C-alpha cells in the first residue's frame, strides 16, 4: 500500500452491516473480519446469564445452524460462540464464516436471542424502523445479495457496525 492512500471502502460490505443492524435490532454490533472471512455478531445483555443458560442457548444456536445448513446443503461451517462478561453486562458473541452464512440464518440467530433473553437483551428503543416505511422483505433480499457479493469479492478492510442513540454507524478500519 502506498503512503497517503486510503483503502477504498467496500460499499456492499458497509451496506450489509447497516442492513443487518437495521433489520435485527437484537444485534448490538457486527463486524466483518477480512483475515478470517467472518462476521462477528455481538448481543448485549443487561446481566451475565448463568453458565448453564449461556451453554444451552449456545448449543441451541449451534444445532439450529447445523440443521439449517443440512437443509440448505452447506457443510464445514465455522461456528464460534462465546460469552464475555464486563461487570454486570454480558456480550454474547457469534462468529460465522461468510462462505456459509445466509440472511435466513442471521434472522434465526436474532430470533433465538430475542426469545431466550427477552428480559435482558439490550435493544435500542429508537432502533425499530417505522412500520409504514420499512420493507423487511426488501432488506432481507438485499442482505442475501450483499452476502453473495462478499462471498466472491475479496474484501481487505475490517468494518464494524454499531448502534448509537438510534443511529447505525459503520467504521472502515
The pLDDT score that the predictor gives to residue 132 is: 43
Is it the case that residue 9 has pLDDT exceeding 70?
Answer: no
57/169: higher pLDDT: 57
The pLDDT score that the predictor gives to residue 75 is: 82
**What is the mean predicted confidence (pLDDT) over 5-9?**
59
The pLDDT score that the predictor gives to residue 106 is: 96
Helices 136-152, 103-116: axis angle to 10 degrees equals 120
**pLDDT tens, 127-147?**
655 554 557 778 788 899 899
The pLDDT score that the predictor gives to residue 11 is: 83
Contact yes or no for 43/121 (Cβ under 8 A) = yes
Whole-prediction pTM: 0.88
Report residue 83: phi and psi, to 5°: -115, 135
**pLDDT tens, 48-67?**
999 999 999 999 999 999 99
Amino acid at each position: 500500500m502506498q503512503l497517503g492512500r486510503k483503502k477504498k471502502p467496500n460499499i456492499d460490505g458497509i451496506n450489509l452491516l447497516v442492513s443487518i443492524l437495521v433489520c435485527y435490532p437484537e444485534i448490538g454490533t457486527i463486524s466483518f473480519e477480512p483475515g478470517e472471512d467472518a462476521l462477528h455478531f455481538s448481543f448485549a445483555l443487561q446481566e451475565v446469564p448463568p453458565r448453564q443458560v449461556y451453554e444451552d442457548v449456545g448449543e441451541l444456536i449451534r444445532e439450529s445452524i447445523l440443521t439449517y445448513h443440512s437443509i440448505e446443503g452447506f457443510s464445514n461451517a465455522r461456528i464460534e460462540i462465546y460469552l464475555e462478561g464486563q461487570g454486570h453486562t454480558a456480550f454474547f458473541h457469534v462468529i460465522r464464516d461468510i462462505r456459509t452464512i445466509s440472511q435466513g440464518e442471521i434472522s434465526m440467530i436474532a430470533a433465538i436471542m430475542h426469545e431466550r433473553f427477552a428480559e435482558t437483551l439490550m435493544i435500542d428503543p429508537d432502533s425499530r424502523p417505522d412500520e409504514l416505511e420499512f420493507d423487511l422483505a426488501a432488506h432481507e433480499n438485499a442482505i442475501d445479495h450483499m452476502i453473495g457479493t462478499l462471498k466472491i469479492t475479496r474484501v481487505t478492510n475490517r468494518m464494524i457496525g454499531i448502534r448509537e442513540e438510534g443511529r447505525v454507524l459503520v467504521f472502515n478500519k
